Chain A
Amino acid sequence: MWKYERRLQYPLKIKKGDGNTAKIIMSQFGGPDGELAASQRYLSQRYAMPYNDISTLLTDIGTFVSKAVHLYVGATVFDTVNLHFSGKISR
């Protein structure tokens, strides 16, 4: 079970939005090789792990990755919102 903490794992400070960077960050977040999918694999596979300490490790890694995923989303949102308001929307 999880409890959500209303903060980012690491502070985010973006000076200038950039559409290409946003695309790269989104590609790390989503898709079959993305961090989101990885976090779900860790959290689903721990049930079949016969060793408790490794099951715990899978839980903790999955939790850590789920936290990191917020940074990806945050960075992408900042990048694209900054771009939109500055009038330079990339294709």
Chain B
Amino acid sequence: MNDRKKALMRVQTYGFALDEAVLFLDTHPHDEAALNYYHETLRLYNMAVKEYVTNYGPLDFTHVQGGKKWTWATDCLPWEAEHNVEI
């Protein structure tokens, strides 16, 4: 797996863990362990996003780096084969 795909996979992993933490906290708002898990996962997720967008491309439209191209519209889309783990 190339480096871009590894970096994307880290974003997906922490993003998924974050989704789960959010859903759990919605029904357990005072759970201290869950709150700690959320903060740690959020920290890791933000780091993974920062690494991906600095090196490979935007994940949302606030991530477009300075330059000559509107990369938000020109990068390949997540349902296309080359954006994902090897087929």
Show the binding face of A for B, using Cβ within 8 Å. 3-15, 53, 56-57, 60-61, 64, 67, 70, 73-74, 77-78, 82
- Size of the B side of the interface (Cβ < 8 Å), in residues, is 27
Contact call B26/A5, Cβ cutoff below 8 A: no
CA distance A6 to B22 in the complex (A): 20
Interface flag for B81 (CB, 8 Å)? yes
* B45: min CB distance to chain A, Å: 11
Assess the B60–A11 pair: CB atoms within 8 A.
Answer: no
Task: Kindly name the residue among A8, A10, A60 whose own CB sees the greatest number of chain B CB atoms within 10 A.
Answer: A8
Which of A13, A15, A60, A61 meets B84, CB within 8 Å? A13
Q: Bound complex: CA of A45 vs CA of B82, how far in Å? A: 37
- Tell which of A53, A57, A73 touches B79, judged by Cβ atoms closer than 8 Å: A73
> Which residues of chain B are within 8 angstroms of A53 by Cβ–Cβ distance?
26-27, 29
Q: Is the CB of A11 within 8 A of B11?
A: no
The reply to whether B26 and A56 form a contact with Cβ atoms under 8 Å apart is yes
With contacts A60-B23, A60-B26 taken as known, whether A7 is within 8 angstroms of B15 at the C-beta atoms is: yes
Q: How many Å from the CB of B17 to the closest CB on chain A?
A: 11
